[in-house]
Every structure is written in structure tokens, then in C-alpha cells.
């Protein structure tokens, strides 16, 4: 993805203001047998603590799976609902309470 002022690498719209100077979560996983025990929340909280970045981005599934539900509970918002391969782009404004 090529990003810069006014270019969201094809995402466009609301995503443009988020791209650049952000923290990007590339991969976070919890083994199926360990899910629903608060580990995903604990991992994400530990990962996001004390970051100097105002915004964070990640992509995950668009369907009803544990990951998108977790991110939405934690305040992440959908920026691009369909990236074209069954994933959505989520953003977290870390200045929001």
C-alpha cells in the first residue's frame, strides 16, 4: 500500500485522514482453545499501552467472528467496510476515552 497526504492506498474516504504516522497492528491471534478468556483484550491493551501514535489501524474479517467483535468492544471503528477480500479496515483514535 502506498500512503501519503491525500492518498489512502486505495482505501479513500475516511481512511485517508488516518493513514500516515499511525501504529499498525499486523497480526494478533489467540488459539481457539484459549479464546473467550480475556486474552485478546489483555494482549491488545498491552500492545497499545504507551504508544506515541495518536491513531492505530488494523484489518480483520468483515463477518461475525470473535476478532471484529473484540475490536468493536474496545472502541475500534470500521473505516472501510470491505477491502475486497473479506476484510475491513478498522481505526482507533487513541485520544478518545
**What are the structural domains of the chain?**
13-93 (3.40.630.30)
Residue 6 clears pLDDT 70, i.e. is over it = no
Q: What is the mean pLDDT of residues 59-78?
A: 90
CA-CA distances (angstroms) from residue 45 to 10, 53, 73? 29, 14, 12
Secondary structure class of 70 (helix, strand, coil): helix
Determine contact, residues 76/91, Cβ cutoff 8 Å: yes
Mean pLDDT for the chain? 83
Residue 11 clears pLDDT 70, i.e. is over it = no
Determine contact, residues 8/16, Cβ cutoff 8 Å: yes
pTM for the predicted model, two decimal places: 0.77
Among candidate residues 66, 57, 48, 68, the one with its CA nearest the CA of residue 20: 57
DSSP designation for 7 = B
Length of the chain (residues): 97
Secondary structure class of 14 (helix, strand, coil): helix
Amino acid at each position: 500500500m502506498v500512503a501519503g497526504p491525500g492518498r489512502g492506498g486505495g482505501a479513500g474516504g475516511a481512511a485517508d485522514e488516518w493513514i500516515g504516522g499511525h501504529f499498525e497492528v499486523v497480526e494478533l491471534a489467540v488459539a481457539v482453545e484459549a479464546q473467550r478468556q480475556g486474552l485478546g483484550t489483555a494482549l491488545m491493551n498491552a500492545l497499545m499501552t504507551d504508544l506515541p501514535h495518536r491513531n492505530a489501524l488494523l484489518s480483520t474479517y468483515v463477518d461475525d467472528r470473535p476478532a471484529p467483535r473484540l475490536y468493536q468492544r474496545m472502541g475500534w471503528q470500521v473505516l472501510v467496510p470491505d477491502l475486497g477480500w473479506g476484510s475491513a479496515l478498522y481505526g482507533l483514535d487513541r485520544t478518545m476515552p
